[in-house]
Structure 1
């Protein structure tokens, strides 16, 4: 018994749909690492808005269970918007066209005539089909690249600083000119520090007056300011008075 042949494609250049019961699995969500190109098809048919979907159906990005495939089986153009709005499920639409170089195809889920949820985006650039990356993946890639270059810059700077310190340690006998330049730099630093301290001193409040003498404390007079040898010769003995111990408010014991 002869095997029945598959039905002819509805449009010129369209790939024949698979037999019922042998549909391939739906494409994966992340297929940004692959690229599809059929040079034989591109040499045989023009790539325009009428045949671009038939070319896209040859790629592994195509979902054979979409509504566009049902329209192809019925002999209707797979991108007919008037027919797609009456259906629900997975569909593909042509969002941007720049013939013959760029075509942007959007995969979306339709829940009603006006309710559509965007899923993925594909673009055909000069005959090569790619999946556009998601925004979160783009941000993660850019941030990772920036962190890599920042870390590399810090590593390079650290290695150069270590090399400079090693060279300074090895140079035990620097020339006289370097010493004079270092001394000049040191003098400038000292002057700069003096200037900073003077400016800080001007900003500080004036020195408060000394506290008053405690009650009963007898300050030293001119007669008691004589040298100890003169006082001993005169036979004068100056009593040792500790204002903090004898006359202080805490009345601590005298040792």
Structure 2
């Protein structure tokens, strides 16, 4: 289990992006996988089946008969958005999605998984609740003879203004 967590931590590339500006003007569904397989792309696994197909000069249809990691173009919304999926092929009909990547205007990002999104949202909510709790605690007062009470700074100002108003009148 610790090994799986370590591998997940090493493979977490959510905070980075990659772009090769030479490709950006010519990106299309026919060449986007070639763009994604550039040597400098940190998201691309060189041991995948796509590399075997490329070295043997086969078509991408041969990926269906292979077993292992592969990349496919999942969705294209030309000319700006392409979604590429990294998947583990078990058989010609069974695949396990491993990661999704999106390319917007030529910049490649790793899409966050559901666990990361939920974790981020929960952390944001907890931070807000903690801030509210800290502020509420700053107004709470305690004295052994009086017990607990709330002391608001603006309440003190209102009392002073009210007292001044009574004195002036």
The bucket for the TM-score relative to the shorter chain is: 0.7 to 0.9
| Alignment: residue pair count | 145
Unmatched segments (≥5 aa) in structure 2: 1-9, 140-150
Offset from partner CA, 1:156-186 (integer Å, 9 cap, x none):
45557531355478x4x925759xxxxxxxx
Which structure shows the higher helix fraction? Answer: 2
CA distance in 1 between counterparts of 2:14 and 2:23 reads: 22
Q: SS of 1:62's equivalent? A: coil
Shift of 1:42: 2.4
Which structure: greater strand fraction?
2
TM-score with structure 1 length normalisation? 0.51
Please list, as runs of the form range in 1=range in 2, the aligned pairs for 1:13-92 lying within 5 A after superposition.
28-43=10-25, 46-58=26-38, 59-77=41-59, 80=60, 82-92=61-71
**Partner residue in 2 for 1:21:** none
Give, in angstroms, the shift of residue 35 of structure 1. Answer: 0.4
State the alpha-carbon separation in 1 of the partners of residues 98 and 72 from structure 2: 12
Partner residue, 1:199:
none
User: Superposition RMSD on alpha carbons, in Å?
Assistant: 2.6
- Which structure has the bigger radius of gyration? 1
Residue in 1 aligned with 2:97?
A: 118
TM-score under structure 2 length normalisation: 0.75
Three-state SS of the structure 2 residue aligned to 1:60 is coil
- Which structure has more relative contact order (CA 8 Å, sep 6+)? It is 2
Q: Which residue of structure 2 lines up, in the alignment, with residue 162 of structure 1? A: 152
Aligned to 2:144: none
- Judging changes above 3 Å, is the alpha-carbon distance between structure 1 residues 176 and 111 closer, same or farther for their aligned structure 2 residues? closer
CA distance in 1, matches of 2:65, 2:114: 30
**Gapped regions of structure 1 (runs ≥ 5):** 1-27, 179-255
